[in-house]
Structure 1
Amino acid sequence: MNDAGAERDVVRKLARGSLLSRLKTSRQPLKLVAVPRDHVAGDRQRGAALLSGKFNAGSETLPLNDLDFGAIGATGSLAEQLQGFSWLRDLAAAASRENGARLAEAVVGRWLIVHGTKVDDAWAPHLWGERILFWSAYAPYILSSTDTGYRSALLNTLARGARHVEANADKAAAGLDRITAWCGVVAAGLLIQGGVPRVARGEVGLARALAAAQFDDGGLVSRSPYKQTLLVDRLGLLRACYLAAKQTIPDGIEAAAAASLAALHGVTLGDGALSSWQGCGPSEAARLTALIEGCGLRARPLRNARGWGYQRLSALGTILVLDAAPPPPQKISAQSSASTLAFELSDGPQRLVVNCGGPGPLPTALSDELVEALRTTAAHSTLVLADTNSTSILADGSLGKGVEDVTIDRSEGNDASRLEASHDGYVRAFGLVHKRSVMLGNDGKELRGAEQLIAKGRKKIRESAAYAVRFHLAPGVEATATADGMGAILRSKGAPPWNFRCRGGMLTTEESLWIDGRGQPQPTTQLVIVGEVSSLGGEIGWQFRRTS
């Protein structure tokens, strides 16, 4: 069967039993007063998969032929990605309005049959917020039907959803979910007939949600780059609603949107994808590029983020991103990680030093044990003392005691950018402060670093404690040890060779892994400087230098 035949077969099975005919309603259909344009390009490959009857998310594939919204539910990563309808963007990237509408309307029709007549889990405020944003942006794909019963049911359900989310937006979890809910309220006020009084109330609620969820520098309190990506997307879609309705965007929302993009830029590396923090991977560079180019905002990368917590150094194509803050509170981020003072490094499009990352919210085949291990300090490129996390991760997955105070001092000189940061995560157990100093030359060819363990407090190590300074290498970076055992040559296809040298410990090489943008593990290696430190403290030095 050819592609067109497969698509017709999927639509036929989705619409079998005259599902749409069951949506008849006597009410006169409402109208959208404006239709926003989503300038963010979707993923054509995912869109083609939808046309062939497959909904792909992370490691899971959901067949659409027998799609049952009731069985799938509305909780969990796969269900939420389906329920939010952001996949309409991918469908539009792969199909014309005519072809895409047949599939989109069949899926929406099934949603309306299961969820359109009752308030259930699918009516969670954040899901309705996201649904309003994407249903309105892709109205040509879901409202092309000549079936007046279907159109009436959809528009009236949309109007009821808008009233529901307005009344319940503040019941959404604080952070991105609440922001998304209030974005939906404002969008509905701007776009749905008779909704103008809703706009002012929605703007007040959105401003309140943003103030509670964002640091002053634009980063989310959850410190999750993945969620930061969604924040930029939500605000970009809302911005398009204002433009479509020919209304002025409030200065506060515009400023929050620009700041959120600057913070997101600040954690990207040279390949255009994210650095890996708080249990999340790099995402996909093409999707991130499409978002940044299409969201309608412009901002320079945030370099010195005291709240968001990610410090950025860059010079002639070499980029370093360092975590200089405590982990976010567990109640805000379920995947908070003990990553303080870890860094990632890239040379042009080639990643050199990475953190192991994690699947984030993607459905994953990774074991629960591995996902938990990816949150540990050892899964990040930083110093680990006595095989202990800088912030403890308890048996139930919550965070215990550890890093509370992080000090930062940075300066920009004529020859280099310098950053010194320290944390107190090892003071309570070992009486030692960990201080990391890095210096990136302005030609981008040299990164010098030092790890200091400084005595502080009453707690003392009885004899000595082992340490390991870990540098997880990106996939495709091969490390060849030097003859003296104190260095390695790093070779990759995407960048010139780099030399690594160290002092103050012994250099070893171990296996590692890296979670890619689709949530899949990729084997790699890590350089590890090992040694012991006494209660008096000590210092370890290291250097990365490009050979050309």
Structure 2
Amino acid sequence: MKSNVLKHIRRKASDLAFNNALYNWTLHHNILGGSQPQGFVTIPTDGWPGDMEKGRWLCEGTFTLGGETFEIPNSHWYLEGLSQDWMAHIHGFSWLRDLRALGGDQARLAARALIESWIDHHHGFDKVTWQNDFTGERLSHWIGCYDFFGASAGEEFQDLFFNSLSRQARHLCRALPGDSTGIAQLKAIKGLAYCGIALEGRESWLEVALDLLQEETKKQILPDGGHITRSPAQLTEALQIFIDIRCALKAAHYPVPGPMQHTIDRMAQALRFFRYSDKKLCVFNGAQEGDINFLEAVLSKSNARGKTLTRLPQSGYERLTLGRSVIMMDTGSPPAYPHERHHHAAPLAFEFIYGKERIFTSCGSHPFDPTWQDSLRATAAHNTLSIDHRNAAEIRHDGHFGRKHRKMSVTREDTHDACLIEATHDGYVSLNGITHRRRIYMGEQGHDIRGEDTLSCSIGAGNPKEIALRFHLHPRVLVSIIQDGTEALLRLPGGAGWRFHFSGGAFALENSIYLGEGSRPRKTKQLVLYGTMESDFARIKWGLQREGR
């Protein structure tokens, strides 16, 4: 509560300091010194791929995000009802890559026209479009893509462009560190670093940015290389930013700090841990599968090498691999405020993939719709157990956690032909005294998987508790109920079959959805085991064996 109040006070103070005519006058007239830039001394080139098809849409004035489109009417940039993700995409200018990928004069002129239009509508500070992360993203993309859209432009565009860029950079230097956290803060730092490298006489901005980056590294990057949010998607974004800053330093012949390279190496190892055999990400804590080419590019640019890890102890994940089977299990506690804002309430959830085919998977997340994003944070959207239809962590109206699991324990045993993991969480203890323990065994070259979920109550059972244990199937998996409703046969696209069985509880096949990619939910199914806890102890056993092994 205290941190919320302080954050609110800082935000109000920033609004008073920046959102006034005098402050905008100082930005326009540069009264704090420094000449108006006429060009760049070094251009930290943006080396990430764009999408030609999205570039074609942009030439028609239409933005795309997560498979959805949005047209800015009459080049007016003030749009009601857009989510924060849409606003970040539009005002961050990452879509310049798409126009660059399309190439040609039409795309180049479209980029200039959109930049000119944005500048015309944003002469001075605006608390939404000039927030630190938007500004940092915008500046880094303006600089990184400049060779494409700006190098051949006329003097009028150059004057307009550099005047706006220098105003935004001066503001960003004054506004940082501000109250941004997480990836938003890293984006702002990257923008300031780019300006310090690209603009003559602004080396002090680079020094400020590198000092801030060092502080954020301590706050955000865990010893095992994971990100503080525990999200594979957030880790990917953070690693991309670190790589970009490293490349920018090298382009300007600045030394790369040793700790930065070490951090990149650790993050790349963690990212490799989160990738399955299909080269895409596991779907935990707000992540979607991701784009294979982009993930390959991130890992390639990291220059990191090494074997895939079996666990990330600080991030709280375990990876069991045997033969072609991989199980990823969430065994971590939620991060501290405010980094748990998009964290999922899914302790001990797991995913299972065989070869390149996902079998059991979390329901995923949405690229920009906050309603979907919050709904899919629920315990029931994951392969884990819930009690009395309540989440294992309380998701408050502001998106942050109230009640949450604080104690997690995990042990594992590995031999050359078997793996066993056992973990517990206390997310329900404050409600009813119940601790959830999960054991998962994998043997027979990954063809034999057995699970056991037990509940134990430390304060007396009281009223009966309803239990639901869910196994969400990937949309490519076909399911048939067999043996008079006591087993399920899962059929993969390649023809391989898996038999699911259980003891303890009642079995149901229900509808589910999958949002592991794109913005449109795909219909799928889930296996659900229902039961009632009437004493101080309850157990459900389940198993999955490959047919014809």
Global fold match (TM > 0.5): yes
8 Å CA contact 1:450–1:541 kept in 2: the answer is yes
Q: 1:210 to 1:299 in 2, by over 3 A?
A: farther
Partner of 1:253: 260
Distance 2:138 2:267 in 1: 22
Sequence identity (%): 28
* Structure 1 portions without partners, runs of 5+: 1-22
Distance apart, 1:298 and its partner CA: 4.8
Distance apart, 1:340 and its partner CA: 0.6
- The residue type equivalent to 2:274 in the other structure is V
- The residue type equivalent to 1:226 in the other structure is A
- The residue type equivalent to 1:545 in the other structure is Q
- The residue type equivalent to 1:428 in the other structure is S
Distance 2:162 2:246 in 1: 22
8 Å CA contact 2:345–2:391 kept in 1: the answer is yes
Q: 1:462 to 1:333 in 2, by over 3 A?
A: closer
- The residue type equivalent to 1:57 in the other structure is L
Secondary structure at the aligned position of 1:345 is classed as: strand
Distance 2:546 2:102 in 1: 42
Partner of 1:529: 529
Partner of 2:231: 224
Q: 1:202 to 1:537 in 2, by over 3 A?
A: same
Partner of 1:540: 540
8 Å CA contact 1:223–1:278 kept in 2: the answer is yes
Q: 1:60 to 1:301 in 2, by over 3 A?
A: same
Secondary structure at the aligned position of 1:170 is classed as: coil
Distance 1:55 1:295 in 2: 30
Secondary structure at the aligned position of 1:47 is classed as: helix
Distance apart, 1:107 and its partner CA: 0.9
- The residue type equivalent to 1:519 in the other structure is S
8 Å CA contact 2:418–2:442 kept in 1: the answer is yes
- The residue type equivalent to 2:482 in the other structure is T
Partner of 1:379: 381
Distance 1:206 1:71 in 2: 32
CA offsets 1:373-431 (integer angstroms, 9 cap, x no match): 32211111011122221112345544221311111112321212222110011222232
Distance 1:471 1:336 in 2: 20
How do 1:467-486 residues align onto structure 2 when only pairs under 5 Å count? 467-486=467-486
8 Å CA contact 2:68–2:519 kept in 1: the answer is no
Distance 1:298 1:172 in 2: 35
Q: 1:416 to 1:277 in 2, by over 3 A?
A: same
Distance 1:208 1:520 in 2: 38
Secondary structure at the aligned position of 2:207 is classed as: helix
Q: 1:95 to 1:480 in 2, by over 3 A?
A: same
Distance 2:316 2:465 in 1: 29
Partner of 1:501: 501
* Structure 2 portions without partners, runs of 5+: 1-27
Greater displacement, 332-341 / 42-51 = 42-51
Distance 1:216 1:185 in 2: 26
Secondary structure at the aligned position of 2:75 is classed as: coil
Distance apart, 1:470 and its partner CA: 0.6
1:238 is the counterpart of 2:252: no
Greater displacement, 157-166 / 431-440 = 157-166
Greater displacement, 405-414 / 425-434 = 425-434
Distance 2:337 2:218 in 1: 19
Greater displacement, 336-345 / 193-202 = 193-202
Secondary structure at the aligned position of 2:177 is classed as: helix
Distance 1:146 1:183 in 2: 25
1:160 is the counterpart of 2:167: yes
How do 1:119-158 residues align onto structure 2 when only pairs under 5 Å count? 120-158=127-165
8 Å CA contact 2:83–2:368 kept in 1: the answer is no
1:399 to 401, 411, 432: 401
Distance 1:73 1:401 in 2: 31
Partner of 1:276: 283
Partner of 1:53: 61
Secondary structure at the aligned position of 2:176 is classed as: helix
1:444 is the counterpart of 2:452: no
Greater displacement, 237-246 / 52-61 = 52-61
Q: 1:469 to 1:43 in 2, by over 3 A?
A: same
Q: 1:45 to 1:416 in 2, by over 3 A?
A: farther
Q: 1:299 to 1:428 in 2, by over 3 A?
A: same
2:312 to 305, 308, 317: 305
Aligned length: 516
CA offsets 1:9-34 (integer angstroms, 9 cap, x no match): xxxxxxxxxxxxxx9x9x86522222
CA offsets 1:195-247 (integer angstroms, 9 cap, x no match): 22332332111110121122222222222332222112211221221221122
1:419 to 405, 421, 428: 421
Q: 1:171 to 1:494 in 2, by over 3 A?
A: farther
Partner of 1:363: 368
Distance 1:509 1:449 in 2: 19
Distance 1:109 1:299 in 2: 46
Distance apart, 1:521 and its partner CA: 0.9
1:212 is the counterpart of 2:219: yes
Indicate the RMSD between aligned Cα atoms, in angstroms: 2.7
Distance 1:211 1:476 in 2: 41
Distance apart, 1:494 and its partner CA: 4.5
Q: 1:227 to 1:543 in 2, by over 3 A?
A: same
Secondary structure at the aligned position of 2:519 is classed as: coil
Distance 2:40 2:444 in 1: 54
8 Å CA contact 1:267–1:310 kept in 2: the answer is no
Distance 2:398 2:119 in 1: 38
Partner of 1:14: none
Q: 1:297 to 1:67 in 2, by over 3 A?
A: farther
CA offsets 1:264-322 (integer angstroms, 9 cap, x no match): 33223333332222344333444434433455555654432222222222233322221
- The residue type equivalent to 1:110 in the other structure is S
Partner of 2:20: none
Distance 1:118 1:395 in 2: 30
Greater displacement, 469-478 / 185-194 = 185-194
Partner of 1:487: 487
